Structure 1
Amino acid sequence: MKFTRFANPHIFVLLLVSVELTLFLYRIVFVGKPPSSVREARECLHLQTNTLETDDNFFKRLWPSLHQIVDKCSYRHFRERIKVIGSSKQSILWLNWLVDLNDHQCNAIFIHNSKSVSMERELKRYTKKCVVYSLSDKHQETSRYQDPRYSVLTLKQNVSAKARHLGWGVDHYARDADSVDLAYFTVVQVHKLRYDSINIFYDGSEHIKSLFTKSPFDDANLATCQFNIILNRPKGRLARRDFRYTWKRLLYDRRYLVAGVRRIRGSTDALSILLLNISEPYCWAKYISNDPFVPKNV
């Protein structure tokens, strides 16, 4: 076996440096940067939940352990930047990042069926720049025209996922005179197309479907950065099948990341879910990363 001898040691050092530089350039050009925390979380969720088991077995396994799976895959990446807004009975998870910049205009909607606005007021104190809307059919009056810099804007309104409409015209109320659909409300009544947070405090299994591709939100060009929603325990075979379908859409749609799941205190029949918008560059820059939005990282 022959060995190469270097008369000058500097040549050997230069050769090693050249090899290291070549490997470094190769990684940048052909391999790229390490996967982002979002991409890593999505891959973990796919690995943990994308199985071939039956709908019933999928539900029996996933429902009691979903909060643990999401904590392992997603929540750990954002834990240090998430604040709990509200009380132990009713609260939301708020992911904070660059929302205090001067050019940031924050809009948040709370949808529930109670009179209380305690969560809304706490969010208002925490992020003073946010315009906070509170929708409930239990509110006594509408304070829509109060100064949004200091007040929570309450609206006596019932938002229903079943209050569908064929267009944006006056025939919207033909099917349900007492309810308004979420996409219709955000576009027509609030006149905003981009929201930092929408929070729904009753069964939101139908509202989640409004967020997918070719959905009412997509058709109306609406974007929400954070989505807190209560999901009730599916009852019956069809509901369990729908639960699995919804979960698969969340995984494959590449629109939202399931970033947090919490059990509702004192109940095993409801979960609180935090979704983060990972496809909107504005949401990515304001809440997820201060690096530019790159599609391959999601």
Structure 2
Amino acid sequence: RDLFERTALADAELDLWQDVSRRLLVPWHRGVVSQFDGYGELAEFDWDRYRRAYGDIRRLDRILEAEGDTVNRYQASKQADVLMLGYLFAPAELRGLFRRLGHELDDTTWRRTVDYYLHRTSHGSTLSSLVHAWVLPRVRRAEAWRFCQEALTGDIADLQGGTTGEGIHLGAMAGTLDLVQRGLTGLEPRGGVLRLDPAPLPELARFGLSIRYRGHWGVRLRLSAGQLHITVPASDRGPIDVALADRTVSVPPGETCLLPLPQGADGLSMHKAYP
């Protein structure tokens, strides 16, 4: 209600959003979601040749401009544009949105889309590594840690080649924290339930975090050895409901609950990601 008042948002505008959101065009090519209509008709880029010639080709746009060419002629992306879908929406929600638009985005189609753009992206933005680090644990876990490291060291190592002197990439830095808090845990408060869909990485043998949830300060989540520990601090508030896979438990204040991670939470299976 507060947002409605401050933004002068009318019910008619929400109705318009609902209508527009059901009429969006989703272009496809070769069985994958297109970055834009006509993307699949662009020329393929010789990534191997340019990596041999230049090494780091993150700023592919500048390299081609120096050669009198333009990146706009090729199936080459500066950053994770299409894969942002997997960053913005939980897997089940993304599948539901596509189905509402008349498309089936099952695990095979999403995996194929991720693979397609993974090999056509130069990562000319620090945010690109972050998005890949978020998406890959559920699709190509073996490659995810490299992108996690790049997101963490982007400014320290000046991976963009001279940009750190102009200022730090605060969005990417904050995103690495968000990656641990929400990306690897699949944490999503919805419908009065704290929902979790973990996709931990083997390089992180264990990790934990504290959150504030429904008036509880310092709800502690710890993931290790295929288990999730949930500790609710003592207070006079009511218990919290936690959902993991097809199981929902109620954890009272002052108690700890131990839940085994479901099969597929190791990132190797997409069945959990797309129930």
Q: Place the TM-score, normalised by the shorter chain, in its bin.
A: under 0.3
Larger radius of gyration: 1
TM-score (norm 1): 0.21
TM-score (norm 2): 0.23
More relative contact order, 1 or 2 (CA 8 Å, 6+ apart): 1
